């Protein structure tokens, strides 16, 4: 078989063209960090919802959609933020729609789906499950609140105006503060102000001097000992050991 001179040239030009394309793609990926298009993220499915602060204007929210709620609930970010939303599920197929935005994701077991949204105006967005997932499907809703920057900063500042301690933010995030005050005021549970070293009478008649070990027990196993005058109302909250220590460290500062 003979190949004409012209055909040879065309072949060479084509091969060279493809090689130049590959070289440009490699250059774009390595030099300019342009991501190659993909429909999968490299994040493994997660069990625990969380909010990660990358910068004051960039947040990453890991939602866990489970029968029948989203975690974390009621997230607040400041206006002007870019929010990366990742979602996974430990049980069945759900959906995630952030009403009023373009965020609309399927939530499929074993997969992490992703969307990015820029939230500029202060308002409350509803986050809903849009895939029928069982009897509690209609309850799968929570809010993503966008507040203006000044209001946002004040939500993470502890009473007294000090910058928020991570322990305080944790107590706030886990809703401990809806029952326990940090300023001495009465609540559904005892105040945390000056709690360390206080002597409390328990419902079983015993007396306890509050030290870190007692706080740890009361956080991890709320029903173990109940202070007289209060009811056994506190529910168990899932916390890591580090989170418990962080809370106790903060409580120790509340003299």
Residues near ligand CUA (CB under 6 A) are 65, 94, 129, 131-133, 137, 140
CB nearer ligand CUA, residue 105 or residue 146: 105
Output the smallest distance, CB 63 to ligand CUA, in A: 11
What span, in angstroms and rounded, lies between the C-alpha atoms of 210 and 226? Answer: 12
- The tokens describing 1, both together, are 């078989």
In terms of Cα–Cα distance, which of 231, 238, 197 is closest to 214?
Answer: 197
Output the smallest distance, CB 93 to ligand CUA, in A: 8
CB nearer ligand CUA, residue 105 or residue 251: 105
Residue 149 burial (C-beta neighbours within 10 Å; 0-12, 13-18, 19+) = middle
CB nearer ligand CUA, residue 74 or residue 228: 74
What span, in angstroms and rounded, lies between the C-alpha atoms of 86 and 253? Answer: 35
CB nearer ligand CUA, residue 65 or residue 254: 65
- The tokens describing 89, both together, are 């599920």
Output the smallest distance, CB 92 to ligand CUA, in A: 7
What span, in angstroms and rounded, lies between the C-alpha atoms of 14 and 18? Answer: 6
* Radius of gyration from C-alpha coordinates of the chain: 26
Output the smallest distance, CB 116 to ligand CUA, in A: 22
**3-class DSSP string for 165-180:** CHHHHHHHHCCHHHCC
Contacts of 61 (CB under 8 A, 6+ apart): 49, 50, 51, 52, 72, 75, 83, 84, 85, 86, 144
Output the smallest distance, CB 198 to ligand CUA, in A: 44
CB nearer ligand CUA, residue 144 or residue 247: 144
Output the smallest distance, CB 136 to ligand CUA, in A: 8
Q: Which residues on neighbouring strands pair with residue 142, listed in sequence order?
A: 127
CB nearer ligand CUA, residue 12 or residue 132: 132
Output the smallest distance, CB 70 to ligand CUA, in A: 8
What span, in angstroms and rounded, lies between the C-alpha atoms of 125 and 100? Answer: 7
CB nearer ligand CUA, residue 65 or residue 144: 65
Looking up tokens 């910068």 gives: 55
What span, in angstroms and rounded, lies between the C-alpha atoms of 192 and 17? Answer: 71
């Amino acid at each position: 078989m003979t190949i004409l001179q012209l055909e040879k040239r065309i072949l060479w030009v084509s091969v060279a063209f493809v090689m130049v394309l590959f070289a440009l793609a490699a250059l774009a990926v390595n030099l300019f960090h342009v991501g190659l298009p993909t429909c999968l993220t490299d994040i493994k499915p997660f069990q625990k919802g969380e909010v990660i602060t990358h910068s004051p204007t960039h947040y990453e929210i890991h939602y866990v959609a489970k029968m029948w709620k989203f975690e974390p609930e009621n997230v607040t970010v400041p206006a002007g933020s870019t929010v990366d939303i990742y979602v996974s599920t430990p049980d069945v197929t759900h959906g995630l729609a952030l009403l009023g935005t373009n965020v609309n994701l399927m939530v499929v077991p074993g997969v992490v789906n992703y969307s990015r949204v820029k939230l500029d105006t202060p308002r409350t967005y509803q986050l809903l499950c849009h895939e029928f997932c069982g009897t509690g499907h209609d309850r799968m809703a929570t809010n993503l609140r966008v507040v203006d920057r000044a209001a946002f900063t004040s939500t993470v500042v502890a009473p007294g105006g000090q910058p928020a301690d991570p322990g305080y933010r944790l107590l706030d995030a886990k809703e401990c503060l809806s029952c326990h005050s940090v300023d001495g005021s009465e609540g559904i549970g005892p105040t945390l102000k000056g709690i360390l070293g206080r002597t409390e009478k328990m419902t079983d008649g015993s007396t306890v001097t509050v030290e870190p070990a007692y706080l740890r027990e009361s956080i991890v196993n709320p029903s173990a000992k109940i202070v007289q005058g209060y009811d056994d109302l506190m529910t168990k909250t899932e916390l890591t050991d580090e989170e418990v220590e962080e809370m106790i460290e903060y409580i120790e500062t509340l003299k």
